[in-house]
Amino acid sequence: MIEHDFEISSVQPMEPPSESEASEWHSYVIVQGPNTIRGFREGNLGTVTKAAELIVAQLNERRMGKRARAQLVIAKTNKT
């Protein structure tokens, strides 16, 4: 298992996609050891950085097993 946490490597301004009406876009890079995730988001530097921080927090929670899709309930059985 990889022991490194996910972390933000960079958040940089970029040219908006041609189909976008928004004028401010940023790209972000999230890394975990040798793994790299690249993303793009509309918004100013602060907004995109906060969004990337949330993604990093969720990825780190997920790899630590803090989030579950379903709650397991073990029922007691009567042994006779």
Give the model confidence (pLDDT) of 4-33 as tens digits.
899 999 999 999 999 999 999 999 999 999
42-57 pLDDT, tens digit each: 999 999 999 999 999 9
Tokens of 46: 């602060």
Amino acid identity, residue 69?
Answer: R
**12-50 CB burial, b ≥16 within 10 A, e <16:** eeeeeeeeeeeeebbbbebbbeeeebeeebbeeeeebbe
31-41 pLDDT, tens digit each: 999 999 999 99
56: which residues sit within 8 A by CB, 6+ positions away?
Answer: 5, 6, 7, 8, 30
Whether 64 has a pLDDT exceeding 80, the answer reads: no
Looking at residue 77, what is its pLDDT?
61
- Nearest CA to 27 out of 62, 16, 70, 60 is that of 16
Looking at residue 66, what is its pLDDT?
58
pTM tops 0.85, yes or no:
no
